[in-house]
Structure 1
């Protein structure tokens, strides 16, 4: 993803991309257990304060997985009239349920914007919990809300390459796939389809 993406767009996409192609024709899930969620949060140090010390439990895992299902359902709505990711097509939450789940998660911990402006850097806006540490699902939900309400949402696409289940932000007018490797796979599949001998 490009550096020009907002923090909210980046974390919302990264959450959706914890469902991915497994390299063998199936779908992999990076959030199958608390250890997977712990690893994911620690790889995103800007997600929550003290992410390096974060340790997930079963309750947090369930909450984040439920939130991810809502986010992916709303991503599917955002890419209409195009098809959603094949990983979701048969099991999308209804949009009203996805919206209710996202908004409920976003409301769990009230936050306020806080401006940080180090001497050697540009000012940066962060969200800080009003009372204590922010709940992970609230932080993720608020990022997804901000992304879905932003102009970046209009660039959201579901990759159409064979076996890919990723969403991505279209960076240029001719971009059709999430990565060059997906583009290569799609071109190879089209080539084989055109040259397949009739049975």
Structure 2
């Protein structure tokens, strides 16, 4: 769940299909739609948040975007010596500032793990802490998920997709995986083909 949530947050910066970059959190409506899509993974980190439309406002959007910037900064650090995502080249924080930002957000809601293990079901961990409003729990939960992912073994498989125009980070399923999805691999192969043809014409 941590990996899913951290990648989902970072993935709100994406290729727009036209050669540019889209920001799914560019407005409050985008934040609301994203929170609705992340209801299940957020439940494990922030508890029930209620209707996203009632929670979302411009202040929360700016807070989530700031957390995303910290996460993408640390993703860029994690993929070294490879290059960061093309979308991040001019917007990265100093790595220690990003770490501090995640730690501050996570500390806003001190929690403890609680194990539940109903009959005929798998054990599950939820988090419990002192009462906190949904906004605080959301930001703390996003930060906690990012911290858990960055401190875990999957971080070593994190990569920035090198396909033309792609700006996503992804976790490699196998060591030889180069692109975040097959369409990016197709786009990279087509781009290389055209570059070779153009080079042959100029020779």
The answer to whether the superposition gives a TM-score over 0.5 is yes
State the 1:52 CA deviation.
5.1
The CA distance in 2 between the partners of 1:128 and 1:145, in whole Å, is: 18
In 2, the alpha carbon distance for the partners of 1:51 and 1:30 equals 20
- 1:136 is aligned to 138
Please give the residue correspondences for 1:17-28 in structure 2 after superposition, counting only pairs within 5 Å.
Answer: 17-28=11-22
Candidates 1, 6, 12, aligned match of 1:12: 6
What residue is the counterpart of 1:30 in the other structure? Answer: 24
Counterpart of 2:153 in structure 1 is: 151
State TM-score, norm by structure 2.
Answer: 0.90
Contact 1:41–1:51 (8 Å) recurs in 2: no
Match for residue 56 of structure 2? 56
How far, CA to CA, are the matches of 2:17 and 2:159 in structure 1? 21
* Distance in 1, Cα, partners of 2:36 & 2:50: 5
Tell me which protein shows more helix as a share of its residues. 2
Q: Equivalents in 1 of 2:12, 2:108: separation in Å?
A: 22
Q: Number of residues paired by the alignment?
A: 193
How far the C-alpha of 1:57 sits from its partner, in A, is: 1.3
Report the Cα offset of residue 145 of structure 1.
Answer: 0.4
Give 1:195 shift.
Answer: 1.4
Q: Is contact 2:49–2:138 with CA below 8 Å preserved after alignment?
A: no
Q: CA deviation at 1:118?
A: 3.1
The secondary structure found in structure 1 opposite 2:109 is coil
Distance 1:132 1:95 in 2: 29
Q: Which runs of 5+ in 2 are unaligned?
A: none
2:202 corresponds to which residue? 198
Query: How far, CA to CA, are the matches of 2:49 and 2:33 in structure 1?
Result: 10
Q: Which moved more, 1:109-118 or 1:12-21?
A: 109-118
Measured on the aligned residues, the alpha-carbon RMSD in Å equals: 1.4
Write the distance in 2 (CA, Å) between the matches of 1:97 and 1:164.
26
Q: Distance in 2 between matches of 1:167 and 1:116?
A: 33
Aligned to 1:177: 179
1:43 maps to which of 37, 40, 44: 37
Could you give the per-residue CA deviations for residues 8-34 of structure 1, whole angstroms, max 9, x where no partner exists?
111000000000000000000010122
